[in-house]
Amino acid sequence: MLLRPTLFLAAALLAAPALAQPSETSLFDGAGQARAYITQGPQRTIYLWGGLPVAYLLNEYGRDSVVGFNGRHLGWFDNGTVRDVQGNIVCATAARSNTTDVEPVKGQKVVPPVPNVPQQGPVPPVFTLNWSQKNRCADYLRQGQNRSD
């Protein structure tokens, strides 16, 4: 009789960490290195690989805008790619990348700051198939970081 409640409790305790962890989508740069990730929760936060929150996804007019915690509109998240304001790819999910390296261990997440009022995003450009030559994934996303971080 005591075995049944004990097994149930053990199963619940083992499942609790998995239930508490939101799923995360890794973002890779053009060289296939993991640089950032998006948490899938009420606020879809973008963290750099080391755990620093730099931006979040905001649905505007049916599109996901990438908005920095400083309020700056950085670009768009479209079909597994982060796009800069010129429409070029800055980061991409594994499914949208040509090649990816093994993901290193992530740093501990820092609590996200309260976001500043977001800028209104511009009209999206035509999205290209090209990787941005000017913007690198982590450096680009870091532009959304609050100054106090």
Label residues 90-102 b or e (16+ Cβ within 10 Å = b). Answer: bbbbeeebeebee
Find tokens 């499942």 and name the residue.
15
Encode pLDDT of 86-101 as tens digits. Answer: 999 999 999 999 889 9
Distances in whole angstroms, Cα of residue 22 to Cα of each of 26, 28, 41, 57, 71: 13, 19, 6, 15, 24
pTM of the model: 0.82
Residue 1 pLDDT: 46
Residue 17 pLDDT: 38
Q: Tell me the pLDDT band of 12, cut-offs 50, 70 and 90.
A: very low
pLDDT at 143 over 80: yes
CA-to-CA distance for 70 and 27, rounded, in angstroms?
A: 21
Mean pLDDT, the chain, rounded, equals 85
* 3-state SS assignment for residue 86: coil
